[in-house]
């Protein structure tokens, strides 16, 4: 960093920060994320201002002979990154077994680093960062959607106790369709007159909503003795991070 700055240099750094932070924030706004254009722009601008301030104060060095205080200008950007960590944590939301906002939190952290690049005068590094970040947020989404992912749902069947449910045949029926049933949990109700079966179902597809209602559900619901059927899409094993 230069030890002195002209006003036009500061203006250029802030203008590029606004442009870069705005481009990154537009993606979040289009996705209706909690941290949209204004939030991302403010984070990147705050980081840039902190770095410009550090640049302006970098010529202040040394300390008085009777003082224990010595200025460390690099603590300003480090403090910015720490503060952004708290903002990012607030953007992450857990809804049942799905975690939302991880990409938004990463975007905030990335925007602060872009602001530090522009604020320190590393113009080309900041421009490269904005370009790569924009590609990661927009372009890689199409690739990510095409990758096969594991998904999970719960299948609940309520049958009359007198009805015979062929569990091995049910396993074979779903396995043929590409779905795997886990161990069944069985409970009884109405003084033993009804049985409730609950399975974890796992399958692989490109999109979580590709098969919102599998075709075999109507066939199973129409079997003799089946009183009720419930299909509840969920996530596989550990939490599923979702932030489109």
172 and 139 co-located in one domain: no
Nearest CA to 227 out of 154, 159, 162 is that of 159
CB count in 10 Å sphere of residue 179: 20
Residue 238 pLDDT exceeds 50:
no
Q: CATH number of the domain that 185 lies in?
A: 3.30.70.260
Residue 9 pLDDT exceeds 50:
yes
The pLDDT of residue 159 is 87
91 and 166 co-located in one domain: no
Domain stops at, among 146, 169, 196: 146
Q: Chain centroid to CA 178: how far?
A: 28
Domain stops at, among 115, 146, 177: 146
Residue 242 lies in a domain: no
Which residues lie below 8 Å from residue 227, measured CB to CB, with a gap of 6+? 158, 159, 160, 194
183 and 132 co-located in one domain: no
What does pLDDT average to over the chain? 76
Select the more confidently predicted residue: 217 or 59: 217
Select the more confidently predicted residue: 51 or 191: 51
45 and 93 co-located in one domain: yes
Residue 235 pLDDT exceeds 60:
no
- Structural domain boundaries, residue 20: 7-63+70-146
Instruction: Kindly indicate the confidence band of residue 17, based on its pLDDT and cuts at 50, 70 and 90.
Output: confident
The pLDDT of residue 35 is 64
167 and 202 co-located in one domain: yes
Residue 209 pLDDT exceeds 50:
no
Q: Return the structure tokens found at 143.
A: 């690739």
Radius of gyration, alpha carbons of the chain:
28
27 and 124 co-located in one domain: yes
Residue 23 lies in a domain: yes
The pLDDT of residue 33 is 66
Nearest CA to 17 out of 44, 38, 43, 39 is that of 44
Instruction: Kindly indicate the confidence band of residue 64, based on its pLDDT and cuts at 50, 70 and 90.
Output: low
The pLDDT of residue 241 is 37
**Total structural domains within the chain:** 2
Q: What percent of the chain has pLDDT over 90?
A: 0
Residue 241 lies in a domain: no
Instruction: Kindly indicate the confidence band of residue 164, based on its pLDDT and cuts at 50, 70 and 90.
Output: confident
27 and 133 co-located in one domain: yes
109 and 15 co-located in one domain: yes
173 and 58 co-located in one domain: no
Q: Considering only 2-16, 24-38, 58-72, 180-194, which range has the smallest mean pLDDT?
A: 58-72
Place of tokens 């043929």: 176
The 10s digit of each residue's pLDDT in 25-52 is: 787 776 666 667 777 878 888 888 888 8
Report, as an integer, the average pLDDT of 169-198: 84
Select the more confidently predicted residue: 60 or 87: 87
122 and 163 co-located in one domain: no
The 10s digit of each residue's pLDDT in 130-157 is: 888 888 877 777 777 777 777 788 888 8
Residue 2 lies in a domain: no
* Residue 220 main-chain phi, psi, to 5 deg: -70, -40
15 and 83 co-located in one domain: yes
211 and 108 co-located in one domain: no
| Whether this model's pTM surpasses 0.85 | no
Residue 221 pLDDT exceeds 80:
yes
Residue 190 lies in a domain: yes
Residue 1 lies in a domain: no
Residue 47 lies in a domain: yes
In our burial notation (b when 16+ CB lie closer than 10 A, e otherwise), range 49-73 reads bbbbebbbebeeeeeeeeeeeeeeb
Domain stops at, among 146, 170, 196: 146
Residue 39 lies in a domain: yes
């Amino acid at each position: 960093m230069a030890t002195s700055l002209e006003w036009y240099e500061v203006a250029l750094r802030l203008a590029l920060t606004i442009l870069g932070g705005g481009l990154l924030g537009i993606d979040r706004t289009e996705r209706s994320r909690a941290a949209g254009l204004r939030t991302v722009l403010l984070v990147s601008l705050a980081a840039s201002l902190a770095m410009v301030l550090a640049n302006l104060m970098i010529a202040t060095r040394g300390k008085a002979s009777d003082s224990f205080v010595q200025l460390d200008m690099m603590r300003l950007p480090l403090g910015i990154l720490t503060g952004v960590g708290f903002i990012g944590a607030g953007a992450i939301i857990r809804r049942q077994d799905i975690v939302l906002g991880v990409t938004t939190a990463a975007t905030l952290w990335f925007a602060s680093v872009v602001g530090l690049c522009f604020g320190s005068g590393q113009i080309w590094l900041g421009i490269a960062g904005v370009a790569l970040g924009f590609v990661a947020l927009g372009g890689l989404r199409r690739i990510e959607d095409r990758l096969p992912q594991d998904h999970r749902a719960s299948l609940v069947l309520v049958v009359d106790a007198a009805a015979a449910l062929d569990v091995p045949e049910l396993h074979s029926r779903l396995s043929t369709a590409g779905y795997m049933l886990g161990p069944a949990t069985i409970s009884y109700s109405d003084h033993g007159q009804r049985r409730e079966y609950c399975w974890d179902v796992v399958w692989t597809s490109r999109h979580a909503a590709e098969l919102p209602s599998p075709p075999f559900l109507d066939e199973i619901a129409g079997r003799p003795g089946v009183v009720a059927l419930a299909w509840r899409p969920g996530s596989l094993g550990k939490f599923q991070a979702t932030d489109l």
